[in-house]
Structure 1
């Protein structure tokens, strides 16, 4: 089963590379505005997860750059996701609000909608 999962992951990454969306042409002011809105966000993800690919593709379409946290590369990140977010499911967008509270958003469609509504230029 792990061989099949590995193979499918490589296929997903290959097609994502071939059909990668284009980044928008943003002015420096627009990019600075997006970067300011996203400075307190990070995306817990796995590189070959199809739902994570969906979120990353939308980020590229919108010119959004978030800190990507690969939970397979760090046991600490995996534990942080489980302990603070509540489950080991990716993608997960961690949003630290100005009031100090942290929101954990798990569904890829919800993450994409949130980025479109709240971040995009």
Structure 2
């Protein structure tokens, strides 16, 4: 019975994944427009961030959409297709779970933030309208 259930969910994932990715691409939100100077500051600040994700994960899509809305050029690391990135996530964050935001702090330490809502709240606080002055 277990193999049959696995086959069912694998089939659902194979059918729905392309539709989710297409839907995301067709409905991508517009980003915030920053002045050139402000965008340069944002670009520098996000240099210490990387998002580990799967292309068709609904929570990853939600997180990437927030990143797009905030006009953040955060490096995306696909842990489903890139074994080295998956291993980095496991070694650094302790588990293979996406989305995960890798935050390199100014003191050299690295923080791994899981959960899409936490990641979005962090990015909104740091780079949203209220946090844009940083």
TM (normalized to structure 1)? 0.95
Q: Is contact 1:24–1:61 with CA below 8 Å preserved after alignment?
A: yes
Looking at structure 1, the residues matched to 15 and 38 of structure 2 have their Cα atoms a distance apart, in angstroms, of 39
Can you list the C-alpha shifts for 1:60-110, whole angstroms capped at 9, x where unaligned?
111111100001222111111111101100000000001011000000000
Q: Answer with 1 or 2: which has the greater Rg.
A: 2
In the alignment, structure 2 segments of 5+ residues that lack a partner are 1-8
* 3-state SS, counterpart of residue 59 of structure 1: helix
* Number of the residue aligned with 2:126: 118
In the alignment, structure 1 segments of 5+ residues that lack a partner are none
The alignment status of 1:81 with 2:89, answered yes or no, reads: yes
* 3-state SS, counterpart of residue 31 of structure 2: coil
Which stretch of structure 1 is more off in the superposition, 42-51 or 18-27? Answer: 18-27
Q: Is contact 1:41–1:93 with CA below 8 Å preserved after alignment?
A: yes
The 5-angstrom pairing of residues 30-109 of structure 1 reads: 30-109=38-117
Which stretch of structure 1 is more off in the superposition, 62-71 or 23-32? Answer: 23-32
Q: Is contact 1:38–1:119 with CA below 8 Å preserved after alignment?
A: no
The alignment status of 1:27 with 2:35, answered yes or no, reads: yes
Q: Is contact 1:37–1:119 with CA below 8 Å preserved after alignment?
A: no
Runs (4+) off by over 2 Å: none
Instruction: Provide the aligned C-alpha RMSD in A.
Output: 1.0
Q: What is the aligned residue count? A: 121
